[in-house]
Copies of this chain bind each other. A is one copy, B any other.
Amino acid sequence: MNKNRLEAFSDGVLAIIITIMVLELHVPEEPTWTGLLAVVPTILSYLLSFLYVGIYWSNHHHVVQLADTVTGGILWANLHLLFWLSLFPFTTRWSDESGFAQVPVMVYGLNLLLAAIAFYILMRALVRHQGADGALAQALGRDWKGRGSPIIYVVGIVLAVFNPLLGVAVYAVVALIWLVPDRRVERYVARLDHDTK
């Protein structure tokens, strides 16, 4: 089965998720700098979720390009990931509107955790389909980022019990870890190109 529509549909869903969050941004009540300052936390929480969707899109792009074909199981592992990502606008908004209260921030972390697990399941499904010595299995290698992120999310969720803003800070750290470009796949592709010359 051809992977083009999996990519096209995922691109569509991710494009919408990343963009509709801006619909949630309420304009400041007063047309002043003070008014703008009051919505800065909202804009920052939008930025954090924008970064997260961007990271998932970029990782999705890297991983799927190494796949050859997809199966029905992979389609559903992908839809499972998209489901948790589609809840980002909801948990982002709740965290923000509650003024970053304990429970909403924990739920936001849980959402991030479930999306990370879903991405892991998708990767495993792709690797299983391709075989352990396929390009994807080799490119991913030890994948310490993929394995470490869920642990840090759990730390963030626990910390949010005591101080929600500390939890948000921990979630932001995971985003920054991922923002450092993931050279694993790129390096692998470059090596592949080199070897075949």
A residues sitting closer than 8 Å to B (CB atoms) are 1-2, 5, 7-9, 11-20, 22-23, 25, 27-28, 31-33, 35-36, 47, 50, 54, 57-58, 61-62, 65, 71-73, 75-76, 79, 82-83, 86-87, 89-90, 93-94, 97-98, 101-104, 107, 179, 181-183, 186, 189
- Of the candidates B5, B11, B19, B103, the one whose C-beta lies within 8 Å of that of A33 is B103
Q: Which of A8, A35, A182 has the most CB of B within 10 A?
A: A8
**Chain B residues with CB below 8 A from A22, complex form:** 20, 86-87, 89-90
Q: Given contacts A20-B23, A31-B94, could you give 20 more A-B pairs where the C-beta distance is less than 8 Å?
A: A1-B189, A8-B8, A8-B11, A9-B57, A13-B15, A16-B19, A19-B20, A20-B20, A22-B89, A22-B90, A25-B90, A27-B97, A27-B104, A31-B101, A36-B103, A47-B83, A50-B79, A58-B72, A58-B79, A76-B181
Q: Within the assembled complex, what's the spacing in Å between the Cα atoms of A70 and B79?
A: 26
The A interface is mostly helix, strand or loop, or mixed, namely: helix
**Chain B residues with CB below 8 A from A14, complex form:** 9, 12
Instruction: Say whether, besides A36-B103, A181-B72, A189-B1, A19 and B13 are in contact (CB < 8 Å).
Output: yes
Per assembly, the copies of the chain total 4
Contact: B9 with A9, CB < 8 Å? no
Q: Which of A17, A79, A179 has the most CB of B within 10 A?
A: A79
Q: Within the assembled complex, what's the spacing in Å between the Cα atoms of A23 and B11?
A: 18
